[in-house]
Amino acid sequence: MMLSRPLHRLLPLRQTPVLLALFWLLLAVTGPLIAPCPPGEVVSSTVFAPISSTHLLGTDYLGRDVLSRLLFGTSSTVLLCAVATVMACSAGTFLGIMAALKQGLTDTLLSRFMDGVISIPSLLSGLVAVATFGSSVPVLVLAMACIYMPGSYRTSRMLALSIVRKDFILSARMRGEKTGYLVLREILPNMTGPVLADVGLRFIYAVRLLSNLSFLGVGLQPPQTDLGSLTRENLLGLVYGAPAVIAPALTIAILTVGLNLALDGKGQRQ
């Protein structure tokens, strides 16, 4: 009993979202291992080749195997965006709830700061961050986390504002509970649904920002790649209906839509 409870709390998601997330994580980890070819290997003299038995998803704009690159791309997209989103949302949610809880100066200062950050277009912030600190995976993750934190902050602050007025917060405060406990144990569990839905949306944005950054030349370093850049670098293949461009775009859609629907479902059940 002592064990089963916290475990259940730790995994607020039930069935579908958990399975889905596990599936993508599994794919992210094993993808590079099961890829038939190295991601940089030119395997065919035909570019934008259609689906064939040798190259299940055809070849890309340089004649590389799309399936292999897709597996590598999925891996880095999922891992990078997941880490960035989780970082952004945990920090944003914590601060948002704290601002709602503390009110007053803390709230004002934090909110003004976040409003300022959010008002700068995300692509610009990303560009500047990478231009200043160089392009590496930690910088990318941190930049994306910083860019999406204010949005998460805003959402959770709004959500928390209605919760902090509830009497159970009052009674916990009367007991003399610390802020950390109030935020994490009393308030957060009551907004997991909307927060998770928010996480899903932010994940979409992160995938998108990553691809835009990659396109502007500040994203992942070759031979690493992500789904957005795979779509983008093979965009010319669109005129030939090449799987090289369709496959990554579809993967993005399946990844993000599936995750969001699952998280939404969770939110509605709450």
Residue among 28 and 263 whose Cβ is closer to other proteins: 263
Judged by CB under 8 A, the stretch of 21-29, 70-78, 80-88, 259-267 that binds other proteins is 259-267
Both structure tokens of 217: 């030349």
Both structure tokens of 238: 């669109």
User: x-or-dash pattern for other proteins, window 56-85, by CB under 8 A?
Assistant: -----xxx----------------------
Residue 198 · residue 90 · CB < 8 Å: no
Minimum gap (Å) between residue 221 Cβ and other proteins: 6
Residue 70 · residue 247 · CB < 8 Å: yes
Minimum gap (Å) between residue 51 Cβ and other proteins: 18
Q: Which of 201, 206, 247, 262 binds other proteins (CB under 8 A)?
A: 201
Task: Give me the half-sphere count of Cα atoms (radius 13 Å) on the Cβ side of residue 178.
Answer: 3
Query: Can you tell me the distance from the alpha carbon of 108 to that of 105, in angstroms, rounded to the nearest whole number?
Result: 5
Residue among 102 and 208 whose Cβ is closer to other proteins: 208
Minimum gap (Å) between residue 198 Cβ and other proteins: 11
7 binds other proteins (CB under 8 A): no
Residue 95 · residue 145 · CB < 8 Å: no
Minimum gap (Å) between residue 29 Cβ and other proteins: 22
Q: Contacts with other proteins in 152-181 (CB under 8 A)? A: 166-168, 170-171, 173-177
In the numeric block, the tokens 């590079």 are attached to 32
Q: Is 124 exposed, middle or buried (0-12, 13-18, 19+ CB in 10 A)?
A: exposed
Q: Which of 36, 138, 180, 223 binds other proteins (CB under 8 A)?
A: 223
Residue 28 · residue 251 · CB < 8 Å: no
CA 173 centroid distance within chain: 34
Judged by CB under 8 A, the stretch of 16-24, 82-90, 137-145, 200-208 that binds other proteins is 200-208
Nearest to 146 by CA among 202, 104, 78, 196: 202
Q: Which of 16, 27, 32, 38 binds other proteins (CB under 8 A)?
A: 38
Q: Contacts with other proteins in 103-132 (CB under 8 A)? A: 108, 111-113, 115-116, 118-124, 127-128, 130-132
